Amino acid sequence: MSDAHGHEHGGSRWAAVRHRAGHLLTPHSHDSAGKVDSQLESSKEGIRALWISLLVLGATAALQLVILLFSGSVALLGDTLHNAADALTAVPLGVAFIVGRRLANRRYTYGYGRGEDLAGIIIVLTIAASAFFAGYEAVDRLLNPAEVTHLPWVAVAGVIGFAGNEVVARYRIRIGRKIGSAALVADGLHARTDGFTSLAVLVGAGGVAIGWRWADPVVGLAITVAIVFVLKDAAREVYRRLMDAVDPTLIDTAERTLADTPGVKRVAALRMRWIGHRLHAETDVVVADTLTVVEAHAIALEAEHRLLHAVPRLTAATIHTDPDLVDAHASVAHHR
């Protein structure tokens, strides 16, 4: 038994401010499921916003790369790789929309949602390589100082990085609020935070301009740390997906919902897994042993309906009803 339900989630201005502040203090997640909600997925305007954002961040990184090639700034190298890594993390989401729309068949009976996880592995490896390269170049520059040239252009590249992220932030937030997508608004706030990382390139260029040759590689190392945080979050989410992990609070919500369903005596077993950015559930619920098959089926339908409404991103639930054998044995003993 399965169904799909959309839920609109709004947020206050204060909630958005707190979310933005949280991104400044803690690493952000790149879990694709967390970036998708029903409003975003069902809106062509929302999908367009994701792809335009990817193109803008890609163009930002490309412009920075041009300046990087003749300036030799490792701080700029780190920021270029950071913006490229951020753009790349949108790829699994694109894969989820394109590949995940293919219908299930006799070979892929659960559909093609796992394609998102395969893309995630590739992205993690790419980000890991960029973090290693940026870190290696920064350390090498500290040990073997070299001149950074075209400092005004390096500063311009930092401003380009900030401007690119800010454009993406404003666009995502505007479209997200227009279509009611909390996920797209959150991703816009994330892009705005990343813009301040790009401004660190200005600090490095300013330090070199006043004679602090170590400023450029030190800023490069700082930006490398930012890339490592991106890598940590992305790798953790991909690992959890491959191991079929889900947030325990979702299990708690599902168990409470099932237990509160009229006719359900207790929940015997409950399993959930992500397939792409959608949740699937399987559960065994215990019902009275005196019920007919039709009555037990009606309870299962009601439990499924409640579950699909209570658990975000849950789009399919298989519910099996078991008779209460404890009551059955007690009844047999009584009649003896």
Higher pLDDT, 51 or 26: 51
Sign of the alpha-carbon torsion through 232, 233, 239, 245: positive
Pairing type for strands 278-287 and 314-323 reads: parallel
**148, exposed or middle or buried, with CB in 10 Å at 0-12, 13-18, 19+?**
buried
Per-residue pLDDT for 308 more than 60? yes
Average pLDDT over residues 58-84: 88
Per-residue pLDDT for 38 more than 60? no
Average pLDDT over residues 129-158: 86
Query: Domain coordinates of the chain in residue numbers?
Result: 13-242, 248-335
Highest average pLDDT, of 35-44, 54-63, 250-259, comes from 250-259
Confidence (pLDDT) at 101? 74
Confidence (pLDDT) at 202? 80
Rounded distance between C-alpha atoms, residue 184 and residue 163, angstroms: 19
Do residues 117 and 238 make contact, with C-beta atoms less than 8 angstroms apart?
yes
Q: Quick one: pLDDT band at residue 24, thresholds 50, 70, 90?
A: very low
Query: If you average pLDDT over every residue of the chain, what do you get?
Result: 80
**91, exposed or middle or buried, with CB in 10 Å at 0-12, 13-18, 19+?**
middle
List the Cα angle 219/224/229 in 5-degree steps. 130
Least reliable range by pLDDT among 30-39, 67-76, 234-243: 30-39
Confidence (pLDDT) at 278? 80
Per-residue pLDDT for 84 more than 90? no
Helix (H) or strand (E) holding 124: helix 115-143
Fold for the domain defined by 13-242:
Alpha-lytic protease prodomain-like (1.20.1510)
Higher pLDDT, 96 or 19: 96
Least reliable range by pLDDT among 6-10, 179-183, 276-280: 6-10
Sign of the alpha-carbon torsion through 327, 328, 329, 333: positive
Average pLDDT over residues 103-116: 85
pTM: 0.70
Q: Is the CATH number of domain 248-335 3.30.70.1350?
A: yes
Rounded distance between C-alpha atoms, residue 191 and residue 57, angstroms: 10
Average pLDDT over residues 272-299: 92
Sign of the alpha-carbon torsion through 323, 325, 327, 329: positive
Beta pairing partners, 258: none
Per-residue tokens: 176: 């997200």
* DSSP tag of 2: B
